[in-house]
Each structure stands twice: as C-alpha cells, then as structure tokens.
Amino acid sequence: MKIKNQAVVLDNLDWKILQILQGNAKQTYTEIGQLLGVAHSTIYDHIHKMEEHGVIKKYTVVVDLEKIGIKHVTAIMTVFTNPKESEKVAKRLLESKEVLEVSASLSENLSIIAKVVAEDQNKLHLFIAQSVAPLPGVLRVRTSIITRKYKDERFSIEKWKMESKH
Amino acid sequence: MVANSFISRVLRKVPRENAFYFFTSIGNYTGENAASLEEFVRKIKEVDAKSLGFHLYRGDFEKWVAETLEDEELAEKIRSLKSLSPSGNSLRNQLYLIVSKRYEKLKGEFCS
C-alpha cells in the first residue's frame, strides 16, 4: 500500500488480502499467508497498514436475527428535507439506535435515505412519528417496509476487481 | 361553566415534539401537523382523507387529545365516532363537526 497525492493506492497483495478477509475475517495471518504463499509477518504488515489508514474500518459479525428468535421489521425510509436543514437531519438520524444506515440522495428533491429497524410495525411508526417527523426541516417521509430479501450482500472486492479488468 | 385554567390548557400551543403529525399509513408522513386545537380543526379540513381514517381507527386522535391537550371530553367524542365506521368525506365532515364545535365552545367560554 502506498500513499500517492494523499490518496491510498493498494498493491496486488493488499487486494488479495481484502478478498480473503471479506470471505472470512476470522482467518489468522498464518492462514492468509499460506493461501497466498507469503510470510505471516508480511500479511501482518499489510493488514496493519490498511487498518491504520482506515481502508479496513472494522471487523464485525453478521447475526441471523431470525435464528435467535428476534422478531423485527426493517424499512427503507426516505426523508424529504429542506436543503438548509438536510445535514442536521442526517446527523440526528445517525444518533438513533433504530437507524442502521444513512445516505443522502439528489435524485428528485433533496432527501435522506435511511435503513431503519424496529421490533414491530407499531414501534417503527412511533419512532418515525416521534423522532423523525418533528425534526426541524423534515418536509415529509416515505417509508417502505421490507417484506422479503432476495439478495443481501456487501460490496464484493473480488467481483469488482474482475469486472474492472474487462 | 368550564374553568379558564382548563380552557387555556386545552387551547395552548404545544411544543413541536408534542404536535400531532399526520400520516397516511405506517411511516408515511404527509408533512402536515397541528400544534394546537385550533390548528387541528384547520388541518382536518385540509389533509388527505386517507390520513384521517388511518389515525381515527388506530386511536391516535383520541390519544393525542386526551394525553397532550388533556381534553378527555373531546377524546371520548372522537372515540365514539369510530363505532359509526365513517370513511372518506363523511369521516372528515363528522370529525370536523365534533372538533370544531368543541373548539368554538371552549373559545367562547374563555372569552366570556
């Protein structure tokens, strides 16, 4: 990994390490080294640098909530805002435990798109009615409750690298 | 005769976090809200009829009137409207009649 004009440039080994970690972040430096035919100390150096520069943001766990009996509803909420207040609305949403993701969109009017989770539909509604609608600058809210997921994957480095080669 | 302290409490403007926010369904906020009984009367005439049905049958109106405006008498009248199962414009007109009548009565008694 190099820093070029203040931008991070990954080398071939970094990309390969990221691909392996995306598949299973629990693998040890030795295991990754064996897979790539490189010493574990080299793997450590590369991973450490990527952590230091924020390329690797965190290691997390994907929990299957259904398996442990946690009932919940997930929804995609589009919050249409007054442009002057948009940033503040996004920041307030970030503070809520019900909100999993927050993004901004310029597709039609200025809007904030957030992924929200709640115990049930009533609690979801209460959260939006009591904590989102009253925020200064909120013009209206459109919410779609997710009833079925057909695909749920994170950005894949492997696929992206393959496609960018063509 | 109703006490002036009670009337001024019911007719007061509440902070924005305690206002009534009109939705058309779960999570779909129309952008309309009411922070006082006076505004509530006006909004009944303006908002989408779908929103009035959504809140009436969930019991949201009676809850807000009883808990925020603290007018149990009006809350009871709104509650009893549900048993008639009105919808659309009929719901709007009946709800408007109940709430505006109460508002005018309290306003009249406060001034006298």
Q: Which of A70-74, A158-162, B39-43 has the lowest mean pLDDT?
A: A158-162
Express each pLDDT in A149-159 by its tens digit.
888 777 777 76
Residues of B36-61 as b/e, b for ≥16 C-beta within 10 angstroms?
Answer: bbebbbbbbeebeebbbbbbbeeebb
Per mean pLDDT, which range of A28-37, A62-71, A72-81 is the poorest?
A62-71
- What count of residues does chain B have? 112
Among all chains, which residue has been given the structure tokens 């909420």?
A: A77
Give the predicted TM-score (pTM) of the model.
Answer: 0.82
Q: What is the pLDDT of residue A166?
A: 54
B23 shares contact with chain A (CB less than 8 Å):
yes
Query: What is the C-alpha separation between A50 and A57, in angstroms, rounded?
Result: 9
pLDDT at B111: 66
Q: What angle, 0 to 180 degrees and rounded to 10, lies between the N-to-C axes of helices A40-52 and A29-36?
A: 110
Residue bearing the bigger pLDDT, A47 or A107:
A47
Count of domains for chain B:
1
- Count of other CB atoms within 10 angstroms of residue A46: 23
Per-domain residue ranges for chain A?
2-52, 73-145
Asked if B29 and A133 come within 8 Å (Cβ–Cβ), the reply is yes
φ, ψ of residue A58 to 5 degrees: the values are -165, 165
Q: Is residue A4 predicted with pLDDT exceeding 90?
A: no
Amino acid B1: pLDDT: 65
Per-residue pLDDT at A126: 96
- A121, A138, A141: residue with CB nearest B28: A141
Alpha-carbon distance of A55 to A61, in angstroms, equals 18
Å between B1 CA and nearest CA of chain A: 35
pLDDT tops 80 at residue B29: yes
Sign of the alpha-carbon torsion through A85, A86, A91, A92: positive
Q: Do A141 and B17 touch (CB under 8 A)?
A: no
Nearest CA in chain A to B28: A142
Where residue A117 falls among pLDDT bands split at 50, 70, 90? very high
Residue B7 has pLDDT above 60, yes or no: yes
Q: Are A50 and A18 in contact (CB under 8 A)?
A: yes
**pLDDT score at A29:** 96
Please give the CATH number for the structural domain made up of A2-52: 1.10.10.10
Residues from chain B that touch A135, judged by Cβ atoms under 8 A, are none
Is domain A73-145 given the CATH code 3.40.50.1820 in the classification?
A: no
pLDDT greater than 70 at residue A135: yes
Take residue B107 and report the two structure tokens written for it. Answer: 């306003």
Q: What is the mean pLDDT of chain A?
A: 90
Which residue range is the domain that position B107 belongs to? 4-111
Q: Which residues of A touch B35 (CB under 8 A)?
A: none
Q: What is the complex's ipTM, to 2 decimals?
A: 0.88
Q: What residue in B sits closest to A120 (Cα-Cα)?
A: B26
**Residue A140, helix vs strand vs coil:** strand
Residues of chain B contacting residue A136, judged by C-beta atoms under 8 Å apart: 16
Question: What pLDDT is stored for residue A50 in this prediction?
Answer: 95
